Amino acid sequence: MSFELAGAGWAIPLAFSLQGVSAALIMVRLLRGPTGPDRVVAIDALTLLGAAALGLFALHTRQAVMLDAAVVLALVSFIGTTAFMLMFRTRELASPAESHVKKEAGS
């Protein structure tokens, strides 16, 4: 079964180029991010952008196996982001208590 995507001649290259621009902006956020959570969100966005690029590549080459790779990459990205979120959450919960103790000791 073969089919043609309407506008695939210009839409897929345009999508690839827009993803490249998006990746450049995300890299700026990754390198300049003032906090750790900003960098984690940038890494998550880059991996999801990679999954989208794999999906576009699957459309361009008509290889359905690339869609499986994109789904696996998206799931691994979700698990990694969740792990980082839990790590920053425990740091955030520990930080106010320590600063409260320091304020009382200094008073």
In tens, the pLDDT along 35-76 reads 888 888 899 999 999 999 999 999 888 888 999 999 999 999
Mean pLDDT, all residues of the chain: 84
Instruction: Provide, for the chain, the percentages of residues in helix, strand and coil under a 3-state DSSP scheme, each rounded to the nearest 5.
Output: 85, 0, 15
Instruction: Determine the distance from the C-alpha atom of residue 57 to the mean position of all C-alpha atoms in its chain, rounded to a whole number.
Output: 18
pTM for this structure? 0.73
Phi first, then psi, for residue 104 (nearest 5°) are: -70, -35
pLDDT, one tens digit per residue, over 53-64 is 999 999 888 888
Residue 2 pLDDT: 58
